[in-house]
Structure 1
Amino acid sequence: MSAQDHDDNINDGNPGNHGNHGNHGNFGATGPGTPGGAALPVAGRAQPPASIDVGAVENGAVVFENWRGEADRPEPPPPAPAPPRRRVGMAVAGLGRLSLAQILPALAQSKHARLAGLISGSPEKARAVAAQYGVGDNAIYGYGDMARLADNPDIEAVYIVTPNGLHLEHVSAAARAGKHVLCEKPMANTAAEARRMIDVCAAAGVKLMVAYRCQFEVFNSEAKRLVQSGELGKARLVEAVNAQAQGPGEQWRLKGALAGGGALPDIGLYCLNGVRHLLGEEPVEVYAQVVNPQDDARYREVEETVSFMLRFPSGAIANCAASYGAHESKDMRIRLEGGWIDLENAFAYAGQRMRVARRAGSIEAVEERRLAFKDQFALEIDHFSRCVREDRAPATPGEEGLRDHLLMEALYRSAREGRPVRVGADGSAQE
Structure 2
Amino acid sequence: MTDFKDIELETPSPKAYDRRKFIESAGKGIIAATVAGDLLTSGTANAQSTNSGGSGPGPMSAAVKVEVPSQHAKSEGEQPAVPSILPKEKRVGYAIVGLGELTLGQIMKAFGECKNSKPVALVSGDAAKAQKVAQQYGISPKNIYNYQNFDNIKNNPEIDAVYIVLPNAMHEEFVIRAAKAGKHVLCEKPMTVSSKSAERMIDACKKAGKKLMVAYRIQYEPNNKQIKDFTRQQKYGKVKVITSTNVQNIGDPNQWRLKKALSGGGSLPDIGLYDINTNRYLLGEEPYMVSASTYTTPNDPRFKEVEEAVMFQMFFPSGAIANNTCSYGAHNSKHYRCYADNGGWFGMDPAFDYQGLMPEAEHAEGKVKNKMQPKLSEQNQFALEIDHFSECVIENKTPYTPGEEGLQDQKIMEAIYESARTGKPVQLERIEKIDAFRGTPPKEG
Structures share a fold, TM > 0.5?
A: yes
Confirm whether residue 357 of structure 1 aligns to residue 362 of structure 2.
yes
Q: Match for 1:392 among 394, 397, 421? A: 397
Matches within 5 A, 1:374-385: 374-385=379-390
Q: CA deviation at 1:426?
A: 6.6
Q: CA deviation at 1:68?
A: 3.5
Contact 2:64 2:85 in 1 (8 A): no
Aligned to 2:142: 138
Aligned to 1:195: 199
Q: CA deviation at 1:79?
A: 1.7
Q: CA deviation at 1:137?
A: 1.3
Aligned to 1:6: none
Q: CA deviation at 1:72?
A: 2.0
Q: CA deviation at 1:145?
A: 1.0
Confirm whether residue 418 of structure 1 aligns to residue 423 of structure 2.
yes
Contact 2:227 2:347 in 1 (8 A): no
Work out the CA distance in 2 between the residues paired with 1:167 and 1:355. Answer: 36
Q: Match for 2:158 among 143, 154, 158? A: 154
Work out the CA distance in 2 between the residues paired with 1:288 and 1:59. Answer: 48
Work out the CA distance in 1 between the residues paired with 2:419 and 2:63. Answer: 53
Q: Match for 1:95 among 77, 99, 111? A: 99
Q: CA deviation at 1:172?
A: 0.9
Question: The residue matched to 1:243 in structure 2 has which SS?
Answer: strand
Question: The residue matched to 2:373 in structure 1 has which SS?
Answer: strand
Q: CA deviation at 1:63?
A: 4.2
Aligned to 1:227: 231
Q: CA deviation at 1:298?
A: 1.7
Contact 2:309 2:328 in 1 (8 A): yes
Listed one character per residue, the Cα deviations across residues 351-402 of structure 1 (whole Å, up to 9, x for unaligned) are: 1111111123431111111211100000000000100011100000000000
Amino acid corresponding to residue 305 of structure 1 in structure 2:
A
Q: Match for 1:404 among 400, 406, 409? A: 409
Instruction: Give the number of aligned pairs.
Output: 371
Q: CA deviation at 1:425?
A: 3.6
Aligned to 2:80: 76
Point out the structure with max Rg over C-alpha: 1
CA RMSD of aligned residues (A): 1.7
Work out the CA distance in 1 between the residues paired with 2:263 and 2:392. Answer: 29
Listed one character per residue, the Cα deviations across residues 190-243 of structure 1 (whole Å, up to 9, x for unaligned) are: 111000000111111100000001111121111001111122111011011000
Aligned to 2:305: 301
Q: CA deviation at 1:89?
A: 0.4
Work out the CA distance in 1 between the residues paired with 2:175 and 2:263. Answer: 16
Q: CA deviation at 1:270?
A: 0.4
Work out the CA distance in 1 between the residues paired with 2:138 and 2:65. Answer: 28
Work out the CA distance in 1 between the residues paired with 2:66 and 2:108. Answer: 27
Work out the CA distance in 1 between the residues paired with 2:185 and 2:340. Answer: 38
Amino acid corresponding to residue 140 of structure 2 in structure 1:
G
Q: Match for 2:338 among 330, 334, 337? A: 334
Aligned to 2:295: 291
Aligned to 2:372: 367
Percent sequence identity over aligned pairs:
46
Question: The residue matched to 1:373 in structure 2 has which SS?
Answer: coil
Contact 2:205 2:212 in 1 (8 A): yes
Question: The residue matched to 2:355 in structure 1 has which SS?
Answer: coil
Q: 1:253 to 1:287 in 2, by over 3 A?
A: same
Q: CA deviation at 1:147?
A: 1.1
Listed one character per residue, the Cα deviations across residues 30-81 of structure 1 (whole Å, up to 9, x for unaligned) are: xxxxxxxxxxxxxxxxxxxxxxxxxxxx985344566543432110211211
Contact 2:63 2:86 in 1 (8 A): no
TM-score normalised per structure 2: 0.81
Aligned to 2:439: none
Matches within 5 A, 1:167-182: 167-182=171-186
Aligned to 1:26: none
Q: Which blocks of at least 5 consecutive residues in structure 1 are unaligned?
A: 1-57
Amino acid corresponding to residue 88 of structure 2 in structure 1:
P
Question: The residue matched to 2:85 in structure 1 has which SS?
Answer: coil
Aligned to 1:269: 273
Work out the CA distance in 1 between the residues paired with 2:70 and 2:364. Answer: 32
Q: Match for 2:323 among 303, 319, 331? A: 319
Question: The residue matched to 2:104 in structure 1 has which SS?
Answer: helix
Q: CA deviation at 1:173?
A: 1.0
Contact 2:63 2:87 in 1 (8 A): no
Aligned to 1:109: 113
Question: The residue matched to 1:308 in structure 2 has which SS?
Answer: strand
Work out the CA distance in 2 between the residues paired with 1:231 and 1:271. Answer: 22
Contact 1:64 1:77 in 2 (8 A): no
Work out the CA distance in 1 between the residues paired with 2:81 and 2:112. Answer: 20
TM-score normalised per structure 1: 0.84
